[in-house]
Amino acid sequence: MWRFRHLCVGPAGGLLTSSIALCFLFQPAFGQFAEDTLLPYAVNIDRTPTQSWRGYGIYLGRGFFLTAAHVVGRSWLTRPKVVIAGLEYPTNVVKEGSFQTTDLTLLSVDENLLPSRLRLRRLALCRHRPRPGEQVITVVPEGIASSHIIAPGRIPIGARRFSTAITDVAKTGNSGSGVFDARQRCLLGIMSRKISERRSLVAIGKSPVRDIAKYFVPASEIADFLPPAAGL
């Protein structure tokens, strides 16, 4: 039996279960070059009113920000904001997906309002398919973490439609964070969900849950999702 688990960290550091949030765990150490080149693209996404957990997103360029659809939720209700270095920027929702279909939402901010360090940045989508064993970097505003693509055969059978996934579940960025090719520094995908498996241990009368991988929406689906105005 397999399932997806969405967790977030509570005010006292405890874990809270939720249908729309994930805990955001990472280990900020992969190399100064990756920090300098990729970290500026990572932002937070907040709802209105601000939720107790932090959502993530990635700056694409030209005022466009991409995140997981379930981070935003129903945008007409949540009125999402992009948060950069503690400053909030109101957004327009350009295109909204859903957790059940394509877990992506595209937001825009008036480019003239953005920090100068972002205005000239443009992000490239990877053109190749993720390869098992390929080294990747996950990026959130607080730091980066290294991982690699997991072979589809290691994913539980019932979840194999989520075949683009990474290992290192506990330390890598979660919902809305960016997954980058470690060499080319192009965007491989946007993190969507955790894949877990429950195993029944009859001898001890327990059914522990084991985290297997994290699925990300791949660049090929991102390319199909984005409107021409995004320029990617």
In DSSP notation, 127-140 reads -SPP-TT-EEEEEE
Which of residues 211 and 72 earns the better pLDDT score? 72
Q: What is the pTM of this model?
A: 0.81
- The answer to the question of residue 39 being in a domain is no
75 assigned to some structural domain:
no
Question: Which residue has better confidence, 126 or 206?
Answer: 126
- 191 close to 68: Cβ distance less than 8 angstroms: yes
pLDDT at 207 over 70: no
Q: Kindly list the distances between the CA atom of residue 185 and the CA atoms of 39, 137, 139, 227, in Å, as whole numbers in the listed order.
A: 11, 9, 11, 22
Give the pLDDT score at 32.
Answer: 61
- At 40, the amino acid letter reads P
Buried b (16+ CB within 10 A) or exposed e, 43-81: bbbbbeeebebbbbbbbbbebbbbbbbbbbbebeebebb
Q: Give domain status of residue 202, yes or no.
A: yes
Any idea which of 76-80, 117-121, 223-227 has the lowest mean pLDDT?
117-121
Identity (one letter) of the amino acid at 16?
A: L
Please give the Cα distance from 150 to 18 (Å, whole number): 26
The average confidence (pLDDT) of the chain is: 84
156, pLDDT greater than 90? no
Residue 62 located in a structural domain: no
| Residue-wise pLDDT tens digits, 89-134 | 999 999 999 999 999 999 999 999 999 989 889 999 999 999 999 9
Query: Which position has the higher pLDDT, 8 or 88?
Result: 88
Range of the domain at 173: 23-29+124-222
- What integer pLDDT is reported at residue 147 of this predicted model? 96
Q: Are 193 and 215 in contact (CB under 8 A)?
A: yes
Distance CA 159, CA 195 (A): 8
Compute CA distances 65 → 71, 103, 168, 189, 227, whole Å: 13, 14, 25, 13, 13
For residue 28 the two structure tokens come to: 């900020």
pLDDT tens digits, residue range 14-64?
A: 333 333 333 333 333 445 666 678 999 999 999 999 888 889 999 999 999
| Per-residue model confidence (pLDDT) at position 11 | 38
- Residue 46 belongs to a domain: no
The CATH code of the domain that includes 170 is 2.40.10
What local confidence, expressed as pLDDT, does residue 18 receive?
35
First-to-last C-alpha distance (Å) of the chain: 38
Residue 118 lies inside a defined structural domain of this protein: no
* Dist CA 168 CA 157 (whole Å): 20
- As a whole number, mean pLDDT of residues 217-227 equals 96
Domain tally for the chain? 1
Quick check: is 106 in a domain? no
Let me know if residue 10 belongs to a domain.
no
